[in-house]
Structure 1
Amino acid sequence: MSAYPTIEGDVPFAAPNSGRPCSTWYKVVGDLEKSIPLIALHGGPGAGHEYLASFTDLIDQYHVPIVFYDQIGCGRSTHLRDKMRDESFWTFDLFIAELDNLIDHLQLRSKGFYLLGQSWGGMLAGMYAARRPEGLKKLVIAGSPASFPLFVEGGKRLRAQLPADIQKILEEGDRTGNLETPEYERASAIFYARHVCRVDPLPQPVQQAFINLKDDPTAYNTMQGPSEIVVDGSLKDWDGSEQAKNINVDTLLLNGRYDEVSELCVEPWFRSIPRIKWVVFENSSHMAHWEERERFMQLVGTFLTSY
């Protein structure tokens, strides 16, 4: 990223009921003065910005500057480990307030901005766009469920395609809650290699996302649960398809053919958002921005810069 103009900073953020001063770390790569920027919303929650590093391809090819940031609770932003399983704290409203705060700090309202959310970040981006915020020009939702019950159902179908011995290990771990045995971790790794990222070895920035989640799983455990496979957090009953009907900007919807976020839980976005195009990456799972990087950037870049 160092080949481009880069600004890093911390924005004070008054997180409701946090009981302490908080801040959001951000990095702008590229020239904000020259073009409308893309704000990248990472997944998790808690995965951090690093695994979205490939988005800087858009600067060279399409002259789109990128705003990266670590959402509260991870990376270089304020951590709140004492809020584990505090479902009243870790909410969409919290993360939407943080995003609004960052946009205002960077003075992007009049200039305008694009949003791209990946995984959990796409859920957040969708719910933010549904409020019709001032300045939002276009929206990209990548590998994001519109419905968590459908995400769980799709996950069950994917697990049913795994070898029988792997299924048995995963089921036993789910039943006992013991998810840290070597057997369970090995079985999970097989699921992840099929349905999270099919690049081998994993790109270092993607590895960093898993490091971030292990370092501070507070938001992830509270909202999702202990793993991608075991979902018992506050999002388990969430469905955003009704709110998505309020999205009034052009939207690009993306997922991979082998994505843990299967067509089953992506389709409600397509059904609900009025102006939307849906593209499935045939050789990708959950991270097409690495698995089919060139095509991903071409689709996103063309979408953002064509009017």
Structure 2
Amino acid sequence: MKHLFTEDFLHFQNHKIWYGRFDPTTNTSDRRIPILCLHGGPGVPHDYLESLSDLTATGRSVIFYDQLGCGNSEQATDPSIYSIAYFQEELAHVRKVLGLEIIHLLGQSWGGCLALEHTLVGASGIESLILSNTPSNVRQFVSEAYRLMSELPPDVYQVIKESEAEGKTDSPAYQAAMEVFKQRHFCLLNPLPDSVQRAYQKVGRDFRGAGKIMDWDVTPKLATIQIPTLLISGRYDQVTPACVEPLHQKIAGSKWLIFQESSHLPHLEEHEKFIKAVSEFIAAVEDKN
């Protein structure tokens, strides 16, 4: 896919935040509304989303940034800064500095949670929301994940239970058991794509403690969202249909696509289908405006 790539840093609260943008090779005057992509984790940098740059074929720019503490961005000097409120403020600042007044906002996993936060605080200029593999309630997501684990082979599930009970989650046995889970519910591709491997080499860990986000639940607020919304999940996704259903039920007019040959990374597992679905959705939104 032909496109132009540029990257740089911006500053927010005395930290350097990396951003990159893929621009189409078409004339600038012909470009359409850009897409801002929010990565997951928290703390798994943008690399694994890079294939979304193929959306430049629709004549629009695709912008990524690494949230503080991961990827190409700086680590926080004081890890206590990490919070949902911080990342929401960081997102607003990125938009302001980059002049992204009107955007399509695409969030994957935790990135979708952040997109919801940004929307629910009344951020302007969001033409559409694309929420890929996103729950609205973290405790429900964790509960569903453990339900999926209980359906693993008994010996594998036993290792997970015992290791977590004994605080041995760094053990090779636990890591091997979780790998079985990931192969079923995180990414069906084997081996993992290079972009995913690169992302996990640069993952940030300071914000990954459950205490920061465990009580996050925006389900009661979803009915206030008036923006055209596309929901995407995978048939084998660790974000199960039970997690996505509240979004679909409460966001009026939302469209929900379940990718039948995917788990948590349908933008990679069924890439062409994913790009086509997002392209058609945002084109339809723009055509109505």
TM-score bracket relative to the smaller structure: over 0.9
Return the alpha-carbon distance in structure 1 between the equivalents of residues 224 and 120 of structure 2. 5
Task: Provide the secondary structure at the position in 2 that maps to 1:245.
Answer: helix
**Helix, strand or coil: the match of 2:17?**
strand
Determine if contact 2:34/2:60 at 8 Å carries over to the other structure: yes
Answer whether contact 2:103 2:127 (CA < 8 A) is retained: yes
Q: When the two structures are superposed, what TM-score results if normalisation uses the length of structure 2?
A: 0.93
Bigger shift: 263-272 or 250-259?
263-272
Q: Pick one of 222, 238, 251 that aligns with 1:244.
A: 222
1:10 aligned residue: 9
1 CA distance for matches of 2:175 and 2:77?
A: 24
Query: What letter is aligned with 2:43?
Result: G
1:295 to 273, 280, 284: 273
Aligned to 2:41: 44
| Equivalent AA in structure 2 for residue 42 of structure 1 | H
Could you report, residue by residue, the CA deviation over 1:107-145 in whole angstroms, capped at 9, with x for unpaired residues? 121xx1110000000000011112231211100000011
Query: Identity of counterpart residues, as a percentage?
Result: 35
Out of 60, 63, 75, which is 1:64 matched to? 60
Match of 2:208 among 194, 205, 220: 220
Q: Deviations over 1:41-67 (max 9, x none)?
A: 00001100000011012112x223100
Indicate whether 1:208 and 2:198 are aligned.
yes
Question: Is residue 132–residue 248 contact of structure 1 (8 Å, CA) maintained in 2?
Answer: no
1:82-231 superposed matches below 5 A = 82-83=78-79, 86=80, 89-109=81-101, 112-213=102-203, 216-221=204-209, 224=210
Shift of 1:5: 1.5
User: Matches of residues 21-36 of structure 1 in structure 2 within 5 Å?
Assistant: 21-31=14-24, 34-36=31-33
Q: Which runs of 5+ in 1 are unaligned?
A: 15-20, 225-232
> What is the deviation of 1:212?
2.1
In structure 2, how many angstroms separate the alpha carbons of the residues matched to 1:196 and 1:288? 10
Q: Alignment partner of 1:101: what SS?
A: helix
Cα deviation, residue 205, structure 1: 0.5
SS in 2 for 1:179: coil
Which moves more between the two structures, 24-33 or 133-142? 24-33
What stretches of structure 2 of length at least 5 have no aligned partner?
none
How far the C-alpha of 1:91 sits from its partner, in A, is: 2.0
The residue type paired with residue 171 of structure 1 is K
* Contact kept in structure 2, 1:127 and 1:244, CA below 8 Å: no
- Deviations along 1:183-238, whole A, 9 cap, x unmatched? 1111010000100000011001011222222xx311123xx3xxxxxxxx222222
After alignment, is 273-282 or 164-173 more displaced?
A: 273-282
Does structure 1 retain, via aligned residues, the 8 Å contact 2:188–2:263? yes
Q: Structure 2 counterpart of 1:24, which letter?
A: I
Q: CA deviation at 1:261?
A: 0.6
Which amino acid is the alignment partner of residue 165 of structure 1?
D
AA at the equivalent of 2:84: F
**Alpha-carbon distance in 1 for matches of 2:120, 2:136:** 13
Equivalent pair of 2:71/2:199 in contact (CA under 8 Å): no
Tell me which residue corresponds to 2:261: 283
Partner residue in 1 for 2:72: 76
Hey, what's the Cα distance between the residues in 1 that align with 2:207 and 2:264? 20
Change (3 A) 1:275 1:132: farther
Q: Within 1, Cα distance between the matches of 2:168 and 2:62?
A: 40
Partner amino acid, structure 1, of 2:208 = Y
Q: Which has the higher helix share?
A: 2
Structure 2 contact 159–174 (Cα < 8 Å) conserved: yes
Shift of 1:90: 2.2
CA RMSD of aligned residues (A): 1.5
Q: 1:132 touches 1:246 (CA, 8 Å); kept in 2? A: no
* Contact preservation (8 Å) 1:132, 1:247: no
Distance across 2 between alignment mates of 1:12 and 1:44: 22
More deviation, 32-41/277-286: 32-41
